[in-house]
Amino acid sequence: QKEVEQNSGPLSVPEGAIASLNCTYSDRGSQSFFWYRQYSGKSPELIMSIYSNGDKEDGRFTAQLNKASQYVSLLIRDSQPSDSATYLCAVDSGAGSYQLTFGKGTKLSVIP
């Protein structure tokens, strides 16, 4: 059974601070890792993808991957109230399968 684990939160940070979201996964064969943002009642919106160990930056977002530790994280710098949402970690099944396994998500609240 492939598992993706996230702290459900809520994680509260003040506006302008760095929000740090973490995710662990069980399948060592996974090759592609994604962060989606989901506003309440809405669909997942892709914000970052990462495939190799290390950091990947895109604007205020930085994804970090450590395959040895089976750990993925997302940092959001200069957090804004509009960043308040649930952040879903998703992992593929590897071996050419792009079926995604999602974590339950971490609810982020950015306090003005």
Partner 1 sequence: EPEVTQTPSHQVTQMGQEVILRCVPISNHLYFYWYRQILGQKVEFLVSFYNNEISEKSEIFDDQFSVERPDGSNFTLKIRSTKLEDSAMYFCASRGDGNTEAFFGQGTRLTVV
Mapped onto helix, strand or coil, the DSSP state of residue 32 is coil
Per CB under 8 A, does 98 bind partner 1?
Answer: yes
Cβ partners under 8 Å of residue 30, min gap 6: 2, 91, 92, 93, 94
Q: Which of 3, 11, 1, 22 is nearest to 110 (CA)?
A: 11
Pattern 32-61, binding to partner 1, x per CB under 8 A?
x-x-x-----xxxxx--x-x----------
Member of 85, 88, 91, 108 binding partner 1 (CB under 8 A):
88
In the complex, least distance from residue 52 CB atom to partner 1, rounded to whole angstroms: 12
Per CB under 8 A, does 70 bind partner 1?
Answer: no
State the residues that interact with partner 1 by CB under 8 A.
32, 34, 36, 42-46, 49, 51, 88, 90, 92, 97-105
